[in-house]
Structure 1
Amino acid sequence: MGDFNQAVILDSIRRSEEGLSRVELAASAGLAAQTVSNICRRLLDSELIMEAGKETSGPGKPRTILRLNPKGMYAIGLHIDPALTSYALLDAVGSVLVSVDESTDLSSPPAEAVAAMGRRIRQIIADSGIPEQRIAGVGVATPGPVDASSGTVVDPPHMTGWHRVPLRDILQETTKLPVVMDKDVTAAAVAELWAGADASATDFIFVYIGTGIGAGLVLNDEVVRGASGNVGEIGHIITDPDGPPCDCGRRGCVKVTCMPETLVAQARAAGALPGIAEGQTPSLPDDVAALVAAAAEGNSAAKDVLAQSARRLAGAVSVLTNLLDVERVVFGGPFWPALAPTYLAQMPALLTHLSVTDSVHSVDVAGTIVNSGEEAFGAACLVMEKTFSPRAAQLLLDSKG
């Protein structure tokens, strides 16, 4: 209970741009004034929060305003993608102090590649000059599926040989720091919560468009992870019953109709993009950018490919919004910026048309507030979430105790 109450206080302070007094904290958290005072004293002693001046409001003694101390703690984020490995160092208020991008090493044995990532993290910490005791931990975002209980990544797409890699154990051994691991889409949902602390919607779906497409789920202001940490595997939702065959044995799944590589292949087949020259290694980001540029320049085939993808993905997303009765859908991921103009123009009307609750409430559609290219920020936010966010699970008592 003490840990939960402390998390409530920290979360309330971080959500307030101007800071809060002890009186305001007691009112917002529903805790006794003495309890709040004791918690704040511990947080001040540990330098997680700081006093930031006094505020006079009516008669009586001025109130001392409390804010997060940016230098009170730090977190490292590691985002692993089949093409790019990204690192970020964050302070306690979420400012990115260091950002590093490197090509993902898929030629070395996975265990060796992960150990090298751990050594890179050690180097980033050493170069930063930050005292190691202020580093709260390492957050890792990786393509799914994952085995959350063992901290293992299991056969991620486009990463041949990465079969049941004990990611968490290897990184803990090489960094000597606590490690929190989640799917990339879950980390993106956490980052959206962290960066959008004042957002009104507490129930939303985060649709992550990367090399693959997945969905993160936030209900009652908490990220839902599922029994094994694999919530949001939407690749086999059918978007077109007459679409291309999928390796699951059915036709028209998200996996074969909506993925960026699928859109590029469709564009090439329709003549909207040039073919691949002999010896040329295509770049998926470059190809998607070229497809979007062709559509913007009026290429009808390119426009049709993007419009069809918006309709298909809206069908998949509507399955989730209708099932979960959420008020908001947020899109993000590495390929979102390129696709955003088309999707934001079409998705709201499509989801309204497909919604079974449109007469009760609307479904807001928005792009992520986290900057493109900051996927490692989301990974670091996993550490912040563990430190700052109160979760109901913290209140559960061991039935055997």
Structure 2
Amino acid sequence: MGDFNQSVILEAIRRSVEGLSRIELVEATGLSAQTVTNITRRLLDDGLIAEAGRTINGPGKPRITLRLVAGSRFSVGVHLDPAVITVVLLDIAGAVVRRRVVRAGDRDPRAVVDIMAGTIDDLISDAEIDRSRVAGIGVAAPGPLDAAVGTVIDPPKLHGWHRVPLRAVLAEATGLPVVVEKDTTAAAVGEVWTGNGAADGSFLFVYLGTGVGASLVREGDAIRGSSHNFGEVGHIVVDPDGPSCACGSRGCVEVVCTPQSIVEQAEAAGVFDDDRQIDGVHAVEERFTMLCERAAAGDARAVAVIERAAGSLAVLIAVLTNMLDVDRVVLGGPFWDRVSAIYLRELPGELHRRSATRDVREIPVSGTIVGDDVGAVGAACVVLDQILTPRASDLYLRDATALRP
């Protein structure tokens, strides 16, 4: 109960930004004045919060404002994408302190983990912080995952990653605790932590990376699913007349909405000067960027390809929002910014047309405010979320033997 109440107070102070007095904490949390006094005293002693001036508000003693000490704790976020590895260092307030992007190429998992560990060490050293203040490392990885043991299981585009015990190997390489989270879920956690929207609201996060995925937030919590693999949408059919998919269907998200499939559509439409068909994550990324640049410059064929992709994605989003009944839709991921202008122009109308609740409400569609690093930032926020966010489930008695004398 004490740890839960401490999380309640820390979360209230963090979300207030400007800080709260003890009296305001009593009002905001519903805890007794004595409990607030005891916990804030302990937090002051631990350096997690600090007194930040006095304010006079009516009769009585001036109120002392308490604020979060951003540099008291840190977390590291790593986004493992087939194209790049992004590593960020966040302070406890969720601000990015350091950032680095590394192209790992087609190296084996052990070499990639060594790159991760070296980059993490460099960021911590560059920031000149004591490692004891780093709460842990969050890794956002493509699914499927075995979350119970932190293992990555044969993700698409990551060749050779067959049951790689990423959590254990990275923890051994860095000496820091590690949590492995699905990239789409991590991105949703990062979005929640930015405070964009009501804390108790719901939203669908659509992740645009080398692949396309989705995640769901309800009542401020990311829904992970029973195996922590929520959001595998690659084989939902969005174009029955589309290309054949390896799963046996036609027009799945995997062969219609991903950057590689969009590049293939652009090649077939004659957008590029040469007629070669490219493959490989880095070549696809370069070609995709070129396509988006041509669309931004007004190339009609390039615009048409991206508009068609937006229409297909709208089918997916409509299926999910009709089923999940969320308040809003957020899009993000490493490839989002390049298509955001056209997608935000096309998606809202298409989604409204396909929405089962269009006569009741409109579903707002927006881009993430975290930026391209939403996967890495979200992974670091997963670590902070475990430390700071209060959950009623933390109060459950998990082991009845604890009650025995």
Which category describes the TM-score, using the shorter chain as reference length?
over 0.9
Q: Provide the residue aligned with 1:206 in structure 2.
A: 205
Aligned mates of 1:201, 1:391 — CA distance in 2:
13
2:392 alignment partner AA: A
Aligned mates of 1:201, 1:39 — CA distance in 2:
25
CA 1:289 to 1:312, structure 2 compared with 1: closer, same or farther past 3 Å? same
Aligned mates of 2:73, 2:196 — CA distance in 1:
19
CA 1:235 to 1:392, structure 2 compared with 1: closer, same or farther past 3 Å? farther
User: Superposition pairs for residues 365-380 of structure 1, below 5 Å?
Assistant: 365-373=365-373, 375-380=375-380
Contact persistence 2:20–2:65 (CA under 8 A): yes
Contact persistence 2:266–2:291 (CA under 8 A): yes
CA 1:200 to 1:8, structure 2 compared with 1: closer, same or farther past 3 Å? closer
Q: Provide the residue aligned with 2:177 in structure 1.
A: 178
4+ residue stretches of structure 1 with deviation over 4 A?
A: 197-201, 276-282
User: Superposition pairs for residues 133-144 of structure 1, below 5 Å?
Assistant: 133-144=132-143
SS at match of 2:71: coil
SS at match of 1:113: helix
Contact persistence 1:196–1:369 (CA under 8 A): no
Q: Provide the residue aligned with 1:217 in structure 2.
A: 216
User: Superposition pairs for residues 66-105 of structure 1, below 5 Å?
Assistant: 66-105=66-105
Note if 1:261 corresponds to 2:260: yes
2:387 alignment partner AA: T
Q: Provide the residue aligned with 1:196 in structure 2.
A: 195
Of residues 333-342 and 275-284 in structure 1, the stretch that sits farther from structure 2 once superposed is 275-284
Contact persistence 1:222–1:391 (CA under 8 A): no
User: Superposition pairs for residues 1-400 of structure 1, below 5 Å?
Assistant: 1-108=1-108, 110-196=109-195, 199=198, 202-275=201-274, 283-373=283-373, 375-398=375-398, 400=400
Aligned mates of 1:367, 1:138 — CA distance in 2:
26
Contact persistence 2:137–2:176 (CA under 8 A): yes
Contact persistence 1:80–1:104 (CA under 8 A): no
Contact persistence 2:154–2:160 (CA under 8 A): yes
Aligned mates of 2:278, 2:228 — CA distance in 1:
40
The Cα shift of 1:321 comes to: 0.9
Aligned mates of 2:96, 2:13 — CA distance in 1:
20
CA 1:30 to 1:197, structure 2 compared with 1: closer, same or farther past 3 Å? farther
Of residues 288-297 and 93-102 in structure 1, the stretch that sits farther from structure 2 once superposed is 288-297
2:204 alignment partner AA: I
The Cα shift of 1:121 comes to: 1.8
SS at match of 2:86: strand
CA 1:279 to 1:125, structure 2 compared with 1: closer, same or farther past 3 Å? same
CA 1:279 to 1:396, structure 2 compared with 1: closer, same or farther past 3 Å? closer
The Cα shift of 1:113 comes to: 2.6
The Cα shift of 1:277 comes to: 5.4
1:363 alignment partner AA: I
SS at match of 2:309: helix
Mind listing any 5+ residue stretches in structure 2 that lack a counterpart?
none
SS at match of 1:283: helix
Q: Tell me the matched-pair count.
A: 400
The Cα shift of 1:70 comes to: 1.2
TM-score with structure 2 setting the length: 0.93
- Report Cα offsets for 1:79-117 as digits up to 9, x if no partner: 111121121111122222211111115323x13431442
- Report Cα offsets for 1:169-210 as digits up to 9, x if no partner: 011111111111111111111111111256467200111100
Q: Percent identity?
A: 49
**How big is the alpha-carbon RMSD for the aligned residues of Structure 1 and Structure 2?**
2.0
- Report Cα offsets for 1:27-55 as digits up to 9, x if no partner: 22121221122221121111111111111
The Cα shift of 1:392 comes to: 3.2
TM-score with structure 1 setting the length: 0.94
CA 1:30 to 1:199, structure 2 compared with 1: closer, same or farther past 3 Å? same
The Cα shift of 1:2 comes to: 2.2
1:327 alignment partner AA: D
CA 1:306 to 1:197, structure 2 compared with 1: closer, same or farther past 3 Å? closer
Contact persistence 1:52–1:66 (CA under 8 A): yes
2:371 alignment partner AA: N
- Report Cα offsets for 1:124-179 as digits up to 9, x if no partner: 32343211211111111111111111101111111110011000001111111111
Contact persistence 1:152–1:168 (CA under 8 A): yes
The Cα shift of 1:393 comes to: 2.5
CA 1:304 to 1:277, structure 2 compared with 1: closer, same or farther past 3 Å? closer
Aligned mates of 2:284, 2:5 — CA distance in 1:
47
Contact persistence 1:51–1:66 (CA under 8 A): yes
The Cα shift of 1:268 comes to: 0.4
Aligned mates of 2:360, 2:178 — CA distance in 1:
42
Aligned mates of 2:290, 2:130 — CA distance in 1:
45
CA 1:95 to 1:258, structure 2 compared with 1: closer, same or farther past 3 Å? same
CA 1:278 to 1:188, structure 2 compared with 1: closer, same or farther past 3 Å? closer
Contact persistence 1:90–1:98 (CA under 8 A): yes
CA 1:229 to 1:2, structure 2 compared with 1: closer, same or farther past 3 Å? same
Aligned mates of 2:113, 2:183 — CA distance in 1:
16
The Cα shift of 1:276 comes to: 5.7
Contact persistence 1:206–1:330 (CA under 8 A): yes
Contact persistence 1:205–1:217 (CA under 8 A): yes
Contact persistence 2:187–2:374 (CA under 8 A): no
Contact persistence 1:81–1:104 (CA under 8 A): no
Aligned mates of 1:326, 1:279 — CA distance in 2:
38
